[in-house]
Amino acid sequence: MQAGGSIHGRGGVSQPGLSEEEATDSSAVADDGDARGMAARVMYGVARRLLPRKLRRGIISLTQYPATRRLVGDLRSFRAYRILENPPARMRESGATVAVRFRELGGAAVRLRPFTDDDSVARDAFSLLHHAPPAGVPLRDMENIWDLGANVGITMAHLAVLCPRAHIVGVELDSDNAAICRENVAPWNDRCEVMCAGVWTSTGTVSYERPTGRVQSFHVVEEQGAAVLTEAPSISLNALLAHGQGAIIDYVKMDIEGAERPVLSQNTEWVDSVLSIKVELHGDYTVPDCIVDLEGLGFQAAPIPRHHAAVVGVRSAADRARILGGQSTRLVTPAP
């Protein structure tokens, strides 16, 4: 992705801004975590802090064995994913990707890279569903979605499955990520478009850091420091809206690794065409700060349950009607 603490809500408690499926799945994940017991949590903590990376990932993989089996679509994918969780050294030299079929993608395969965070990105996406659209509007009625910080296309592919009529534009800062993203959304090529650019306040060029192995954490840097930086084209959301000929955007997933504060506070005319948004926060941008910003942009905003740093924004019924101009099939109001 271009570039989740406290937990809100439990199973059976209303979770504003989440789809029913998302709330159910996130509750199940939390309950599964509670069931591990103190011994498993202690083992996880020790492994994370003290052991070499290879051994640490092996131990963590064992604690997640049942969840992995539920995550993938077949036995071959289960074996492939287990290898990704603790890859042999030879895979670093080959540079090969690994094909994994996930249940949530209806049997479609995506390609993941060893020695990166691709496996954990996929696990989090399909287990927690934080990227899913807010509750309220039937997913089949969604027509236009932006996936800002598309990474290797896991969330884009899932949105394509969840919203079978939607045209989805994914914007990814890093060219290597974007290339794999295009490959992973190929089954939905008629509805998915990948742009290699950094989401920013203006269109031009940006510099960004590429932490080794942390491919979901590439982020724009405004000032030159000690780190080696890479340049990439940038695109403003006003320009992205113009690219789509001003179409109304049903949903924006924003995970742009620290660029969210300036993007939500400068050159924000694009917001007038957006019906709902989820924002993952980074750095010193807090949940209360983001809620204030989204409310200032006309959304009803709230923290996302079971995520320590994310906010959902939806439109009131009156605002939806104004933006949609009477398109009755899309006038259902999401839960605030």
- pLDDT over 90 at 265, yes or no: yes
Give the CATH number of domain 1-19+134-336. 3.40.50.150
pLDDT at 59: 63
Most confident of 48-62, 104-118, 290-304: 290-304
pTM (predicted TM-score) = 0.78
Is the separation of the CB atoms in 81 and 71 below 8 Å? Answer: yes
pLDDT band at 192 (very low <50, low <70, confident <90, very high): very high
Lowest mean pLDDT among 120-129, 245-254, 320-329: 320-329
Tens-digit pLDDT profile for residues 303-312 = 998 899 999 9
- Name the residue among 171, 61, 174 with its Cα closest to residue 123: 61
- Rounded Cα gap, residues 62 and 44, in angstroms: 10
Residues 6 or more apart whose Cβ sits within 8 Å of residue 299: 276, 277, 313, 314, 315
The yes-or-no verdict on residue 28 having pLDDT over 50 is no
Q: Where in the chain is the domain with CATH 3.40.50.150?
A: 1-19+134-336
Dihedral sign computed on CA atoms, order 52, 180, 189, 137:
positive
Q: Is the pLDDT of residue 189 over 70?
A: yes
Q: Cβ–Cβ contacts within 10 Å for residue 272, how many?
A: 13
Sign of the Cα torsion 18, 22, 25, 30 reads negative
The pair of structure tokens assigned to 68 is 């992995």
pLDDT above 60 for 33 = no
Rounded-to-integer distance, Cα 233 and Cα 207, Å: 9
pLDDT, one tens digit per residue, over 35-73 is 445 666 666 566 567 777 666 666 666 566 788 888 998
pLDDT at 34 (0 to 100)? 46
Tokens encoding 302? 């709230």
Given a cut of 50, whether residue 10 has pLDDT beyond it is: no
In whole angstroms, give the CA distance from residue 316 to residue 295: 11
- For the chain, the distance separating the N- and C-terminal CA atoms, rounded to the nearest angstrom, is 26
